[in-house]
Amino acid sequence: MSWNPNQYERFKAERKQPFVDLLSLVERRPRMHVVDLGCGTGELTRELHQTLNAEETVGIDNSETMLLKSSGFGGETLHFERGDIEAFVTVRPYDLIFSNAALHWVEDHESLLTRLTSFLAPHGQLALQMPANETHASHQTAVDVAEELGIEPRRSPMQPPERYAELLHHLGFTRQHVRLQVYGHELDSSTDVIEWVKGTLLTDYERRAGDRWPEFLQRYRELLLERIGDKHPYFFTYRRILLWGTF
């Protein structure tokens, strides 16, 4: 998918709070080696690195357009690499594997968490934040429009929070924190929801729709506003799963 950093960052302040909440779950330890999977522009990766006073932090993202902005945030002990989360491997264990709003794009979370756990140091930590807003009209409408137009809809790999707790236990995490949190965002209007998802969810549907993207977007706009109303302001609820574990 081709990500648009400017579109994504239109709601930069609203998107930051889940990162802050996830970071607050991480235990700060000396000389940590950290990897941030799905680092985006790298701005929050820099905050992660500085807050933990990490010895080294690596940010990984598969979007060249996002990583173009990371050059302004890197340094001697913080650097960025292009790569897919699915293909991530390491020969040196990490003290913290961190991922904020990225793993919901990766399939088969049971295998994914098993693989990521194998890359942790003996007392390492896993900290993940994943959107889980499929039941909201903003997401369900995309599925409905895709089916209406004969386009294959996106199926989310997200699991219930209790399943992630079971997985962490099975993988040997002796302490864990898993919660489903609803974030509320007061947007200027209902149409801002469309601008919000154009920076995330609809990026995938633009790829799926191809030449029919303008038709898809127009129908999505019509159906979504029919469902949520044309409100000024609009209170946008967004569900996210926050997950942390250590051995």
Which CATH number belongs to the domain containing residue 176 in this structure?
3.40.50.150
> Which sign, positive or negative, has the C-alpha torsion 121, 122, 123, 129?
positive
pLDDT band for position 8 (cuts 50, 70, 90): confident
78-82 and 175-187 beta bridge pairing: unpaired
Residue 123 to residue 27: CA distance in whole angstroms = 11
pLDDT band for position 2 (cuts 50, 70, 90): low
- Kindly state whether residue 59 falls inside one of the protein's structural domains: yes
- Kindly state whether residue 224 falls inside one of the protein's structural domains: no
- CB 49 within 8 Å of CB 73: no
234-246 and 120-131 beta bridge pairing: antiparallel
Tokens representing 158 are: 């997200």
pLDDT band for position 69 (cuts 50, 70, 90): confident
Q: What is the pLDDT of residues 51-65, one digit of tens each?
A: 999 999 999 999 999
> H or E segment at 23?
helix 12-25
- Kindly state whether residue 217 falls inside one of the protein's structural domains: no
- Give the amino acid at 214: P
State which residues form the domain around 121: 5-133+157-186+236-246
- CB 152 within 8 Å of CB 142: no
Number of domains in the chain: 1
Tokens representing 20 are: 């802050």
- Kindly state whether residue 207 falls inside one of the protein's structural domains: no
- Kindly state whether residue 106 falls inside one of the protein's structural domains: yes
- In this predicted structure, what is the pLDDT of residue 113? 98
Judged against a pLDDT cut of 80, whether residue 3 lies above it is answered with no
- Kindly state whether residue 96 falls inside one of the protein's structural domains: yes
- Kindly state whether residue 110 falls inside one of the protein's structural domains: yes
Average pLDDT over the chain, rounded to an integer: 96
